Amino acid sequence: MATSRRDAQRGSGNLAPPTATGEAKPTAPGTVDNRSRVHDGAADSSKNSSKTSGPPRLPPVRLAPREELAASARVAPLLRAARLVACWAAGGQRAGTDQGLRSDAATAAMTELELTPAELDVAWRVAAGTGMITVSGRRAAPGKRVDVLADGAAEEVLAVWNDALTVMLSAEDLDGMATALYTVGGPVKMDALFEAYMAAAGSRERDGRAHGADLAAGLSSALEALADLGVVELGTEEAAGGLTVTLSRLGIWGMHRHLRAQGWHVPVLGSGAQGGAAALLVALASSDAEDGEAEIAAWLAARTPSQAARELIDAARRGTPGLRGAGFAVLDRVGDQAVPAVRAALKDPVLRAHAAVWLHEHGEEAELGPSERAWLLVDLGAGLLEEADPRDVVVELLPDLPPTAQADMVAGLWAVNHPAVTDLLTALSDHHPDPAVARAARKAAFKARSPSPGVRGKRS
Residue 85 has pLDDT above 50, yes or no: yes
Q: How confident is the model at residue 172 (pLDDT cuts 50, 70, 90)?
A: low
Please answer whether residues 60 and 265 qualify as being in contact, where contact means their C-beta atoms are separated by less than 8 angstroms. Answer: no
Residue 299 has pLDDT above 60, yes or no: yes
- Please give the pLDDT value at position 423: 93
Label residue 333 exposed, middle or buried (CB < 10 Å: 0-12, 13-18, 19+): middle
- Of residues 339 and 238, more confidence is placed in 339
Q: How confident is the model at residue 33 (pLDDT cuts 50, 70, 90)?
A: very low
Mean pLDDT of 163-169: 94
C-alpha–C-alpha distance, residues 378 and 385, integer Å: 10
C-alpha–C-alpha distance, residues 345 and 351, integer Å: 6
- Please give the pLDDT value at position 89: 86
Residue 72 has pLDDT above 90, yes or no: yes
Q: Which of 309, 312, 271 is nearest to 291 (CA)?
A: 271
Residue 458 has pLDDT above 50, yes or no: no
Mean pLDDT of 46-71: 68
C-alpha–C-alpha distance, residues 426 and 442, integer Å: 7
Residue 130 has pLDDT above 70, yes or no: yes
C-alpha–C-alpha distance, residues 357 and 363, integer Å: 10
Lowest mean pLDDT among 6-15, 79-88, 309-318: 6-15
Mean pLDDT of 29-43: 29
- Please give the pLDDT value at position 46: 34
Give tens-digit pLDDT for 88-128. 888 877 776 767 788 888 898 899 999 999 899 999 999 99
Q: Which of 222-226, 256-260, 283-287 has the highest mean pLDDT?
A: 256-260
- Please give the pLDDT value at position 455: 46
Average pLDDT of the chain, as a whole number = 79
C-alpha–C-alpha distance, residues 422 and 413, integer Å: 9
- Of residues 256 and 59, more confidence is placed in 256
Give tens-digit pLDDT for 338-351. 999 999 999 999 99
- Does this model's pTM top 0.95? My answer is no
Give tens-digit pLDDT for 365-406. 888 889 999 999 999 999 999 888 898 888 888 767 788 888
Please answer whether residues 83 and 144 qualify as being in contact, where contact means their C-beta atoms are separated by less than 8 angstroms. Answer: no
- Please give the pLDDT value at position 192: 82
- Of residues 7 and 265, more confidence is placed in 265
C-alpha–C-alpha distance, residues 284 and 200, integer Å: 31
Q: Which of 177-191, 258-272, 354-368 has the highest mean pLDDT?
A: 354-368
Lowest mean pLDDT among 10-19, 158-167, 401-410: 10-19
Please answer whether residues 373 and 21 qualify as being in contact, where contact means their C-beta atoms are separated by less than 8 angstroms. Answer: yes
Q: How confident is the model at residue 48 (pLDDT cuts 50, 70, 90)?
A: very low
- Please give the pLDDT value at position 144: 93
Give tens-digit pLDDT for 203-221. 444 444 446 677 777 778 8
Q: Which of 267, 404, 385 is nearest to 322 (CA)?
A: 385
C-alpha–C-alpha distance, residues 311 and 306, integer Å: 9
Q: Which of 321, 458, 314, 459 is nearest to 377 (CA)?
A: 321
C-alpha–C-alpha distance, residues 66 and 71, integer Å: 9
Residue 201 has pLDDT above 80, yes or no: no
Instruction: Tell me the CATH number for domain 172-261.
Output: 1.10.10
- Please give the pLDDT value at position 206: 45
